[in-house]
Amino acid sequence: MAEKAAAPPRSKPLTTQEWETLIEDFQNGVHHKWNSLDPLFDLLLSSLLRKDFPLFLKLQLLVFLDEFSLSFFTSHHHLLRLVDALKAVVHAPLDVVASTFKDQFMVSATSILICASEKNVIDPQTENNLVELLLTVINRPNFGSDRHTRGVACECLRELERWRPGLLSDVVGHLWSLCQNERTHASQCYLLLFTSVIHNIIARKLSVSILNTSVPMVPFNAPNCVTDSGSGSGSSSDLNVKELRRALAFLLEWPQLMTPCGMMEFVCMIIPVAVALELQPSMLKVQLFGMIHSFDPVLCHVVLGMYLRFLEAFDGQEGEVSRRLLLISRESQNYLVFRLLAIHWLLGFNQLIFEKTKPTIELCSTFYPAVFDPLALKALKLDLLAFSSVCAHVLRLKSGSDELIDPVKLFENGLVCVSSFKWLPPMSTETAVAFRTFHKFLIATSSHSDNDPSTTRNLLDSVIFRTLQGLLVNLMLESRRLVPVVVAFVDRLLSCPKHSWLGECLLQKFDAHLLPKVKMDYKMVYCFPIFDRIAENQTIPPRGLLELLTNFMIFLVEKHGPDTGMKSWSQGSRALGICRTMLTRHHSSRLFLRLSRLLAFTCLYFPDLEVRDNSRIYLRMLVCIPGKKLRDILSLRDMILGISPSSHSTSFFNVQSPRPSQKFKSFKKLSSCIHLERLGPLLVKQFWSLSLSNLVVSNTKPAYLESIRDLKAPVEEKDTEIIPETGRINQPQEPLRVMDSKVAEILNTLRKYFSCIPDFRYMPGLKVRISCSLRFESNTFNRMLGLDKNVSSLEEIDALPAIYATVLKFSSSAPYGSIPSYCIPFLLGEPYNKDPASQNVSLSIVPVGVGNDSREEEKYRATVVIDLEPREPTPGIVDVHIESNAENGQIIQGQLQGITVGIEDMFLKAIVPSDIPEDETPRYNFDLFNTLWEACGSSSSTGRETFQLKGGKGIAAISGTQSVKLLDVPATSLIQATERHLARFVVGVSGEPLIDAVWQGGIIQNVILEDASPVATSVTNHDTGPLRLTYNDEECENGTISNSRKRNLGCFLVLIFLPPRFHLLFQMEVGDVSTLVRIRTDHWPSLAYIDDYLEALYLS
């Protein structure tokens, strides 16, 4: 009913806003809201024909009809009504209907007719009416005021002709006449329409005369070739070739009138027509080849497409085309996209004609990138030089002449434009372009599909290979930062099945020419990545590399001193890593002599103990274990444990780095089998936290946010400054120095107390510890690891899974500071679930050791302690991330269920100064409660006094607030709950009945007991503020308050410390059936959690 009411009634036309809402609902798929508008199509048409309807909304409705044409035009009657409405709009005068509306209406009607034909059968009369109307519009040549409308009508007729080829073949003579007579800007549209009809006549081989105008344009009737399916095609002999050639000659006289895009469409239709009529390509060449000298990329593309179709006709023009494309790319005033496109065309053009002409290749070979060319253009020009080198190589092999281009000159001169890569960072784009050019020149003459073995020898003997390997050696010696880039270049060759031998040959050249030239210093470590590749290659003898590493170890021993730091350890470890690589890749016989000398020297003289131990292990393995078994042992770590050496070539330490197991990645939820749970459940599970820091607008934070601030110099020590009266409001007010004796005593007590509270900014703060237990389910754990263990009861303990070296990492969005991680060396999984039937034994026999169950469970649990250092006493959630190792070597890591931290976790006992004797602690806590109660009161006379914290740098101020809470709970239940949860925070008990009850319980001890109940006086003394509790309105009016608690038993005084430096005070006036709790605190946001806590403590 609500949806129907949202739609307007049928008889009432829709407003502009309602139409916009309707269009938006249809686009969002909400159609049912407008089902009551029946029919909606009538409203649309009537709105389109209304004279007072806004033009912009009419245009939107036309686009809306076109977009949802399949929904509205379900029968030919709708299309007929649409065409009738279009006719009414077209024939309306210009002062009544805007021309833009006419144009859009013609376009939308044409689009709707074509789209609706996909699902509905179009009535031929509707189609004829639309074509007739459009022909009527275009049959007014040289009428300047509506030339744009006539151009739109021509485009609509072109779409209809493309939809039904041959539709306008009977009136092609009239169209030719209109083309001849049209002299306005719409002439291009007439020419393209006429060309489309000619193209379809030739494509369908229709036997029509294009000079015949006997068939009238109006009324229009579709020709038989369209209405009769399958009867429209004939033989090529049926074409009137003479008339068609005459029409084509007419069309070729008008290219200068067309725009570039129009010329593109025109040539795409003219070329098939010229081929079908066997026209001489020279006619097209004379008319269209001059466009190659234009500055429009579309026209150049037209000429190149025509060149590709008529290669023989353009024989001898290759040089002119190449020079023009080179000129386009060189002219800096052209757009960069055009210049890049010209290079792409030139590359494709040269691949097409490079065997025909040698001068073209020579021309391109002199086309060096300019220094100030954009980098993208430099890259393409270098590609062109590499291609010219290939073309010269092919022509040299065919002609046997060496007079062609020198590839080394091309290579070296081309690299001048990107020579800055030698001093730029290794990851710079110039470096990438330079090494891309190296790769292009190196493999240019080797195709991936070429299986000729002679190609290998040709590449190795080529001057490019010799030049490049010398260049790479010099690069690694002069700019060692480029070594990782050279390694990536070699890896690219090694990873290609076709060119892997080329990478091996480069490594062999590096072994022969690079190793003897490496300078012996600490920077030699930059060359270690390429040394790793040399060590991995079995075709390279390890002699040269072992000698270099031996000399390097001697250098490290000689240069070691007190200022060496970690260099000896890190570089010695990486050198041993290369030795390990050679052990895994080479036969021991090739390594034994020189490697044993290297390892023996390292064992005896290397300054680092870890490196000596590792070398000793490798030496023993080399001497005692056969080669194949040794390689298997060294590879065992990679195959079984999923641990491999670090693959990052620039890492400082080449150590064994663990990687996550692939099998573990399928684990969807690790917390389903591994559980971290609190040992003590929370009374209140707080799922929200009050955060007010982002609500502070002013620069000075409130006292409850800026809990601790740095100590500033007193006012007396600063220069006196006169502050105008208007500016004193915004000035920070300094602490008041009061002289009252009572307040002075309070301030002395607070100063002494606050001096014991640590400032967490400069020293370790107070800790809040949450005890938890970690366990995991064996069944679920095995299923996640893909194991299926069915064991008997005798084998159960041995078959239980275990996790090793578990590390729990904690983080939280709450202000808990940095939370240290927790390590668990070993944890055994919980026993497997037994058959339920076997567990249902007789309960009449109770075993003696029934208490052993809890001790048995402790074997499968690990205690975890989470240490928090709160910056603010607020609840929150601690996120837990686990990293552990399974028995099969898999590395387990993931997120566990978070641990909820409640406000009760923040409860700590107040700090007692070290000079207070233990027997005087209860009296000190009692006096501290009274002092804080007075300081947190609304009528506190302590002013804005600040107190210095432990450490001497931070100060804190007290900004107190108060609240009350009435608990309808019997006294017995309240006393028991207080003894159970708040006993260690009680500092005083007053009232004889309450003292007797506490004395009998024996739980609350070491507190101040006052026999005289001060409840009556305390109420009047402490309730001078605005807080009042009224229990009965009538009695309040009479000036008396009824005591609904019947009898006052006494009062509990509770003092709770909230880290880092706040307090929570309870004065609980206990009655027989209810208790009134007066609350005061110097951290008012904590009051948001205390209400729920008290209800959970006493009322649950």
Extract the tokens encoding 526: 């930059």
* Residues contacting residue 1034 through CB under 8 Å, at least 6 positions apart: none
Kindly report which listed range (93-97, 322-326, 925-929, 1004-1008) carries the lowest average pLDDT score: 93-97
What's the confidence (pLDDT) of residue 1099? 81
pLDDT confidence of 158, banded at 50, 70, 90?
A: very high
What is the per-residue pLDDT for 213?
82
Contact 222, 167 (CB under 8 A): yes
The predicted pLDDT at position 1038 comes to 44
Name the least confident of 33-47, 84-98, 867-881, 1015-1029. 1015-1029
Q: Are residues 63 and 170 in the same domain?
A: yes
Residue 868 phi, psi dihedral angles, 5° rounding: -110, 145
The whole-number average pLDDT for the span 204-211 is 86
Averaged confidence pLDDT in the chain: 79
Higher pLDDT, 487 or 709: 487
User: Tokens at residue 180, please?
Assistant: 């001849």
Q: Which residues contact 869 (CB under 8 A, 6 or more apart)?
A: 760, 764, 765, 766, 767, 768, 816, 817, 818, 819, 1059, 1060
**Are residue 971 and residue 935 in the same domain, yes or no?**
yes
| CB contact at 8 A, 270 and 195 | yes
Quote the CA–CA distance of 222 and 516 in Å, as a whole number. 88
In this prediction, residue 356 has a pLDDT band, given cuts at 50, 70 and 90, of low
Higher pLDDT, 287 or 31: 287
CB 544 within 8 A of CB 593: no
Token pair listed for 741: 């004796």
Asked whether residue 437 falls in the same domain as residue 467, the answer is: yes
Average pLDDT over residues 754-766: 86
* 1061 neighbors 1044 (Cβ within 8 angstroms): no
Strands 768-776 and 709-710: unpaired
pLDDT of 843-890, one tens digit each? Answer: 344 444 444 555 667 788 999 999 999 999 999 999 999 998 888 777
Pick the range with the lowest mean pLDDT from 507-511, 610-614, 951-955, 1054-1058. Answer: 951-955
In-domain check, residue 538? no
More confident: 1013 or 330: 330
pLDDT at 1040 over 50: no
CA distance 829 to 973: 41
Q: Tell which residue, 310, 359, 367, has the closest CA to residue 339.
A: 367
Taking only Cα atoms into account, the Rg of the chain, rounded to an integer number of angstroms, comes to 47
Residue 814 gets which letter from DSSP? S
Verify that 14 and 155 share a domain, yes or no. Answer: yes
Whether residues 554 and 654 fall in one domain: yes
What is the pLDDT, as a whole number, of residue 725?
A: 34
Q: How far is CA 669 from CA 795, 808, 897, in A?
A: 29, 17, 10
Tell me the DSSP string of 838-897.
Answer: HH---TT---TTTTHHHHHHHTT-EEEEEEE--SS---EEEEEEEEEEETTSPEEEEEEE
> Tokens for 945?
């006094």
- At residue 713 the predicted structure's pLDDT band, cuts being 50, 70 and 90, is very low
Nearest to 105 by CA among 82, 125, 130, 86: 86
Same domain, 1081 and 979: yes
106 vs 89: CA distance, rounded Å: 10
- Could you tell me the end-to-end alpha-carbon distance of the chain, in angstroms, rounded to an integer? 46
| Residue 1097 near residue 964, CB atoms below 8 Å | no
Whether 752 maps to a domain, the answer reads no
What's the gap between Cα 51 and its chain centre? Answer: 53
In a domain, 1048, yes or no: yes
- Classify residue 134 by burial, with Cβ atoms within 10 Å: 0-12, 13-18, 19+: buried
Instruction: Specify whether 651 is located in the same domain as 783.
Output: no
Q: Which helix (H) or strand (E) holds 434?
A: helix 429-443
Confidence category of residue 362, pLDDT binned at 50, 70, 90:
low
Mean pLDDT across 507-512: 92
* Rounded distance between C-alpha atoms, residue 129 and residue 980, angstroms: 95
Is residue 289, in this structure, part of any structural domain at all?
A: no
Q: Of the ranges 56-70, 100-114, 1002-1016, which is most confident? A: 100-114
Residue 328 lies in a domain: no
Q: Which position has the higher pLDDT, 961 or 654?
A: 961
Rounded to whole angstroms, how far apart are CA atoms 575 and 549?
7
Question: Both 857 and 937 in a single domain?
Answer: no
Mean pLDDT of 373-400: 79
pLDDT tens-digit readout, 963-980: 999 999 999 999 999 999
Domain for residue 280, yes or no? no
Name which of 119-123, 370-374, 1011-1015 the model is least confident about: 1011-1015
Structurally, the chain folds into a number of domains equal to 5
Question: How many of the other CB atoms lie within 10 Å of CB of 573?
Answer: 17
**pLDDT over 80 (residue 336):** yes
Does this model's pTM top 0.95? My answer is no
3-state SS, residue 736? coil
In a shared domain, residues 59 and 208: yes
- Looking at residue 588, its pLDDT comes to 78
User: The domain containing residue 1015 runs over which residues?
Assistant: 918-1099
Place of tokens 């040539």: 267
The single-letter DSSP state of residue 758 is B
Cα torsion 430, 432, 436, 442: sign: positive
Instruction: Tell me the pLDDT tens digit for each residue of 259-294.
Output: 999 999 999 999 999 888 888 888 888 888 888 888
Burial environment of residue 349 by CB neighbours within 10 A (0 to 12, 13 to 18, 19 or more): buried
pLDDT tens string 1014-1035? 443 333 344 444 444 444 444 4
Are 894 and 945 found together in one domain? no
Q: In the chain, count of helices (H) and strands (E)?
A: 43, 18
Give the end of a domain, one of 452, 484, 516: 484
Tell me what pLDDT residue 237 has.
Answer: 53
Residue 82 lies in a domain: yes
**pLDDT tens digits for 434-486?**
899 888 888 877 766 555 554 556 677 778 888 888 999 999 999 888 999 99
Span of 66-80, 134-148, 684-698, 804-818 with lowest mean pLDDT: 684-698
CATH number at residue 892: 2.60.40
- The answer to whether residues 1051 and 993 touch, using CB atoms and an 8 Å cutoff, is no
Domain identity same for 780 and 886: yes
Residue 326: C-alpha distances to residues 329, 338, 365, 961 (Å): 5, 12, 11, 83
Contact indicator for 1013, 992 with CB cutoff of 8 Å: yes
Beta strands in 419-533 (DSSP E): none
Q: Which of 197, 219, 254 is the last residue of a domain?
A: 254
Coil, helix or strand at residue 185: coil
Q: How far apart are CA 647 and CA 653, in angstroms?
A: 11
Residues 899, 933 within the same domain: no
Provide the CATH number for the domain around residue 99. Answer: 1.25.10
Q: Does residue 697 fall inside a structural domain?
A: no
**What is the spatial distance between Cα 911 and Cα 754, in angstroms, rounded to a whole number?**
9
Q: Which residues pair with 863 in a beta bridge?
A: 773
Examine the fold and report which residue of 865, 883, 906 is the final residue of a domain before the chain moves on: 906
CA distance to 294, 633, 657, per residue, from 638 (Å): 63, 10, 11
